[in-house]
A and B are shown apart, each in its own frame.
Chain A
Amino acid sequence: MHFPQGDDDCKTPRPTPLYAAAASQSTSNSWTAINGWAAARVYAKVEEEYRAASEDAALVDLGPLCRYTVRGFDAAKVLARLTTTPVNELSVAESARGLILDAAGAVVDFADLTRLSGDLYLLTTATPADRRLDLAARGFEASVSNVGAEVAALGIVGPGARDAAAAAGIDVLSADASAQGRVRGVELAIRPINFGAAPGVEIIYPAEDALVIWERLKRKRQLPVAGIDALDILRIEGGAPRPGVDFVSADRAAAGAARMPDEIGLPHLAPPNRAWFNGRRAMKNAADPRRYLVVLTVDTDLAPVGATIHARAEIVGRVTSAAFSPRLRRALCFADIDAAALDRPLEAALPEAPGMRLPARLHDTAESRLAAAFRETTRAATESRR
C-alpha cells in the first residue's frame, strides 16, 4: 500500500493520531496533506531516512491511508465484489493485496485486506472508498465503518522491522499472517506489509493509545522515523506505482486516461480467472494494452522529474515519478510509455539539460517480476486451451 498524491495546498490538514509524536521528530518541518491528514514529507534528511528504512528499520505514520472494517454474514461477498483480493481464500489472520476496479475494468485504487475474524475484515485503501463501499454493500448483510480516525496505524519499515517489533514485545507470528495481541494494556492488530522493496509490519491500535506504542518502540530500539520522500524511493525501487502520480484513478480520469491493471504493471493483482469481481468482465474483454507503466533506470544523479522518453526521434512516453536511488547509484523513474516502444532503445530527455538525452533502460523490480511471471502463466494457459 502506498500513499496517494499529496495535496501541498491543503490549508487545514487534520492531525493523525500519531501526529504529536511525528511532529516532535520533525526538524525540517516539511509537511503535506494526504487524504486530508497531515503527513511528513521529510523529518530530517531523506538520505538517512532512506538508509534506515532500507537497511534496518524506521517508523512510519500510516494514518493518512484509509481504513474500513467490513463486518457481517456477507462481508466476504461485498469485498470479493469490490476488490480483486482473494477474499474467499483468506483464513483468519491472513492478508492479501489487490486492486479496486471500476465497471470498465480500470484501476480505481489499491486494496489491502486482512481477515481479522470469521466475518470481520479490515480494508485499507490509498484513497477514500466510502461511497464505493456503500454501493457495494447495498443489498447485502454487511456493515461498513470508516475507522480511519479511530485507530492509530504505525508502520515499521525495513528488513529489521520484525526484530524491532519483537524487541518491543510485539510478536509477529509468521511472514504472511497478522496477529492480535496486547502490549501495556493496549489491544493491537499486527500485520505484515510491504512498502515497495522493503518489508515491514503495520501495527493498528486504538487512537487514544497512539503515543503509548510509539514511545515503547522508540525506547526499545531508538528507531528513526521515515517520511514520504524516503519511502517514495523505496516505492520506485520496488516498482509500486503511486495513485494520482503514476496513474490517475479511474474515478477521476479524463477520457482515455484510465488505466487497466496490466497497463500499470500490476496484472497479477487482478487475475481474470479469480472469482468474480467488479470490472472483471470488462477487463477480460478489453483490448491489448496501448501503454505500459514501467520502471526505467537513467544514468544520471538527478531525478529525471518531468523528462520525456524518446525512441529515436519519436516521443513515446513521459516520466511520472522519479528519484535518485542510493542503492543503485543512478536515477530511477516510473514512465508511462507506448506499448509498441517497449522493445526499442529508449532515451530520457531531461528538462534541465535541453538537447541532451540519456539512455533509459527497463529495470526489473519485485512487481515487474511478479507481473512477468503472471503474464507468462496466462499465456501458457491460453495456449494450452487452444
Chain B
Amino acid sequence: MTELRRKTGPKIEGGVDAVIIGASVDALAAAAILARGGLHVVLIETGAGRFRERAEFAPHYYAADGDPIATALDQQTIDQLDLYRHGLAFARRRLETFVRFSDGAALVLPGDPAFAHEAIAAMSEADADRFADYAEAERKTARQFAAWFSGGAEPAIAPDLRTEKAAASIEEAVTGRFLDARIADYLRAEAALGAASRPSEPFTYLALLRRMAGDAAGLQGAVAAIEGGGRGLVQALRRAGQAAGVGIRQTDRVKSVIVEFDRVAGVEFDDGGQIRAPIIISALPARETFFDLVGRARLDIEFARVVETPSPAIASVRVNLAISGPLVDPHAAAALDRRFLYAPAPIELDRAFRLAGEGVCGAPLIAELIFPSALEAGLAPEGCATASLLLHPVALRPPGDERWRESVDAASRVAFGRIAPGSASLIEAIDIGEPEAAAPPTLAAIERREILTGASGLEGYYFCGPEALIGGPLSLAAGRRAGERALAFFKQGGFD
C-alpha cells in the first residue's frame, strides 16, 4: 500500500534569519556580526577551514594548523565584536623580522616598520634615509589602498598614481632604488612570498603595498603572533558568536542552497532536512559555493567563468620542522620569537619560479620561518624547538607525489640551513603540508573578488570564501564585509 504520509521525515526548520555555511574565521565573523545585528543566525560548520587541536607530527613535537602569524587583522571586526573581551590576545604584538640574504648577511628589522632606519643603516648607511623615505611614502600610499584591499571601494586617488602602482612590477619598483641591492632583495621577497607571478611581471608590485597596508595588532605593516594561532582567533570568535546567540551546528555536508525565483530560501541537507532562511552566507570555496550548492544552470555564464578561473600552477607549502637542539648560528639563535625570512638573490628567485612553473621544486626558495615553540609553551621538548616554514614558490602537485615531497624536503633543509647556517643537521623530522595555490596578482584577485561577492544575482546570497580574501587568511575582513552587506539587505527588508 502506498504510504500517503510519512510519520517521521526530514525536519524543516523555519524562523531563522540567516544561515552561515563554513568553518573559517570569516564564517564565524559574519555569523557574529549578523547575530549582534539582531538576526537569528545558524552557523553550519562544514568544509575546510576548521582549526584542529595541535597535532604531534614527530614524537614530542607538536604543530598547529595554519599560519602562526598575522600580517592583517581587521581592526573594525575586532572592535565590532569586542574580541579582546572574548579572549583574543597576542603572544607577540610586534615581531621582529630577521632577514638572511644569499651572501649570508643578516638584517634585523624592528617590529615597528617605522623604526627601520637604524637597522638599514647598520647594513648600508647610505641607504638608511632612502629606505626610510621610500617606506614612509609607500606606507602612506598603502594606507589609501587599505580599504580597497579589504573589500571596500577603490580609493579616490589620482588615476596616474593608481595606474602606476597597480601596473608596476616589483622589479621596476625596487631595482636600482637602493645602493645596496640586498634591500631590494628583501622587498622582492616580501612581495613575491605567496604570489603566482614572477617579480618581473607587471601588476606584481601591488602585493607589496598590500603587505604594507595590513594592520596587525593595531600597527600598520607589523607582524603579530596571535596567542594560540588560528585556533586562538577561532575561539574568541566562537565566544563572541555564542554571546550574541549564534546557533552552531556541525555537519559533513550541505547538499544544496534552496533557490526560489531569484532569491535564496534556505539550505537542504542530505537527509532532506532544510533550514529555511532568506539570507545565506557561504565561506566555502567559490566552486562549492556556487557550482555545488546552487548549480551552474542558475548562474550567469560570465559569472560561472569567473568562478571556475583555474588556480595558478604555482603554490606555497607549509612545512613543520622538529629541531633537536639550539641553533648553531648566534645571530639567528639570539631570539627565536621572531619572523625569519630568507630573501633569495634575483637569480635564485628567477630560477625558483622557472622550476616551479615547470613542475619542479627548486632550491633555495623564499622562506618564512616562525618558531611556534618560542611563542607557545609545550610544543617541543626542553631545549628543542618546532619550526613552521613557509616555502615559495613550489609546483602545485597532488599530495601523493613522492618526488615532489622529496624535493620539498630537500628545499626545507636548504632554507633552514640558509636562515640558520650550520643548523640543518638539527632537523629531526619534517612534516610537509598540502600545497596551497599561490595568489593571483592582487589586481586580478580584487576584480575576481568584486564579481564573486557582488554579481551572483541571487538575492540574499553572500560569499566570503577564500577567493574573497586578499592577503592573509586570518584577516576577518571578508567575513565582516559579507555580514555587513547581509545586514543591510535584511534591514532594507529586501527579502520580503
B307 to chain A, nearest CB (A): 10
B457 contacts A by Cβ under 8 Å: yes
Question: A281 to B261, alpha carbons, bound, how many Å?
Answer: 10
Question: A276 to B301, alpha carbons, bound, how many Å?
Answer: 12
A135 contacts B by Cβ under 8 Å: yes
Question: A280 to B165, alpha carbons, bound, how many Å?
Answer: 37
A276 pairs with B297, CB closer than 8 A: yes
B172 to chain A, nearest CB (A): 30
A167 contacts B by Cβ under 8 Å: no
Question: A103 to B304, alpha carbons, bound, how many Å?
Answer: 10
Q: What residues of chain A lie closer than 8 Å to B300, measured between beta carbons?
A: 103, 278-279, 281-282
Question: A58 to B305, alpha carbons, bound, how many Å?
Answer: 43
Name which of B303, B305, B308 has the most chain A CB atoms within 10 A of its CB. B305
Q: What residues of chain B lie closer than 8 Å to A132, measured between beta carbons?
A: 301
A335 to chain B, nearest CB (A): 31
Q: What residues of chain B lie closer than 8 Å to A81, measured between beta carbons?
A: 296-297, 301
Question: A270 to B378, alpha carbons, bound, how many Å?
Answer: 66
Residue A140 contacts which of B296, B298, B305 (CB distance < 8 angstroms)? Answer: B296
A330 contacts B by Cβ under 8 Å: no
Question: A284 to B263, alpha carbons, bound, how many Å?
Answer: 13
A139 pairs with B291, CB closer than 8 A: yes
B302 pairs with A103, CB closer than 8 A: yes
B305 pairs with A135, CB closer than 8 A: yes
B455 contacts A by Cβ under 8 Å: yes
Closest to B451 in A: A103
> What 1/0 mask marks residues of chain B from 445 to 474 whose CB sits below 8 Å from any chain A CB?
000000000010110000000000000000
A82 contacts B by Cβ under 8 Å: yes
Residue B455 contacts which of A82, A103, A135, A136 (CB distance < 8 angstroms)? Answer: A103
Q: What residues of chain B lie closer than 8 Å to A281, measured between beta carbons?
A: 262, 300, 457-458
> What 1/0 mask marks residues of chain B from 307 to 343 whose CB sits below 8 Å from any chain A CB?
0100000000000000000000000000000000000
| Main DSSP-derived SS at the A contact region | helix
CB within 8 Å for A282 and B457 given contacts A138-B296, A139-B291, A139-B296 = yes
A77 contacts B by Cβ under 8 Å: yes
B301 pairs with A103, CB closer than 8 A: yes
Closest to B457 in A: A281
A112 contacts B by Cβ under 8 Å: no
Count chain A residues whose beta carbon lies closer than 8 angstroms to a beta carbon of B: 18
List CB contacts (< 8 Å) of A128-159 with chain B.
Answer: 132, 135-136, 138-140
A336 contacts B by Cβ under 8 Å: no
A144 to chain B, nearest CB (A): 13
A202 contacts B by Cβ under 8 Å: no
B308 pairs with A138, CB closer than 8 A: yes
Question: A135 to B303, alpha carbons, bound, how many Å?
Answer: 10
Q: What residues of chain B lie closer than 8 Å to A80, measured between beta carbons?
A: 297
| Main DSSP-derived SS at the B contact region | helix
Q: What residues of chain A lie closer than 8 Å to B457, measured between beta carbons?
A: 103, 281-282
Q: What residues of chain B lie closer than 8 Å to A136, measured between beta carbons?
A: 301
Question: A82 to B301, alpha carbons, bound, how many Å?
Answer: 8
List CB contacts (< 8 Å) of B353-397 with chain A.
Answer: none
CB within 8 Å for A135 and B304 given contacts A281-B262, A282-B457 = yes
Question: A103 to B291, alpha carbons, bound, how many Å?
Answer: 17
Question: A282 to B455, alpha carbons, bound, how many Å?
Answer: 9
> What 1/0 mask marks residues of chain B from 272 to 310 whose CB sits below 8 Å from any chain A CB?
000000000000000000010000111011111100100
Question: A81 to B300, alpha carbons, bound, how many Å?
Answer: 8
Closest to B298 in A: A276
Q: What residues of chain A lie closer than 8 Å to B298, measured between beta carbons?
A: 276
List CB contacts (< 8 Å) of A186-204 with chain B.
Answer: none
A102 contacts B by Cβ under 8 Å: yes
Question: A117 to B34, alpha carbons, bound, how many Å?
Answer: 51
B387 to chain A, nearest CB (A): 42
Name which of A77, A80, A81 has the most chain B CB atoms within 10 A of its CB. A81
Name which of B291, B296, B458 has the most chain A CB atoms within 10 A of its CB. B296
Question: A38 to B297, alpha carbons, bound, how many Å?
Answer: 37
Q: What residues of chain B lie closer than 8 Å to A82, measured between beta carbons?
A: 301
Closest to B455 in A: A103
B492 to chain A, nearest CB (A): 14
B295 to chain A, nearest CB (A): 9
List CB contacts (< 8 Å) of A78-114 with chain B.
Answer: 80-82, 102-103
Q: What residues of chain B lie closer than 8 Å to A139, measured between beta carbons?
A: 291, 296, 304, 308
Question: A135 to B455, alpha carbons, bound, how many Å?
Answer: 17
List CB contacts (< 8 Å) of A216-250 with chain B.
Answer: none
B299 to chain A, nearest CB (A): 8
Question: A80 to B457, alpha carbons, bound, how many Å?
Answer: 17
Question: A102 to B302, alpha carbons, bound, how many Å?
Answer: 8
B297 pairs with A135, CB closer than 8 A: no
Q: What residues of chain A lie closer than 8 Å to B297, measured between beta carbons?
A: 77, 80-81, 140, 276
A87 to chain B, nearest CB (A): 12
A135 pairs with B296, CB closer than 8 A: no
Closest to B456 in A: A281
B323 to chain A, nearest CB (A): 47
Name which of B297, B302, B304, B308 has the most chain A CB atoms within 10 A of its CB. B297
List CB contacts (< 8 Å) of A270-296 with chain B.
Answer: 276, 278-279, 281-282, 284
Name which of A81, A103, A140 has the most chain B CB atoms within 10 A of its CB. A103
B262 pairs with A135, CB closer than 8 A: no
Question: A132 to B301, alpha carbons, bound, how many Å?
Answer: 8
- Which residues of A approach B to under 8 Å, CB–CB? 77, 80-82, 102-103, 132, 135-136, 138-140, 276, 278-279, 281-282, 284
State the 5 A-B residue pairs at the shortest beta-carbon distance, nearest first: A281-B457, A103-B300, A103-B302, A139-B296, A278-B301
Given A103-B457, A139-B304, A276-B297, 17 more A-B residue pairs with CB atoms under 8 Å apart are: A77-B297, A80-B297, A81-B296, A81-B301, A82-B301, A135-B304, A135-B305, A138-B296, A138-B304, A138-B305, A139-B296, A139-B308, A140-B297, A276-B298, A278-B300, A282-B300, A284-B262
Pairs across A and B, CB under 8 Å, 7 listed:
A81-B301, A103-B302, A135-B301, A139-B296, A276-B297, A278-B300, A284-B262
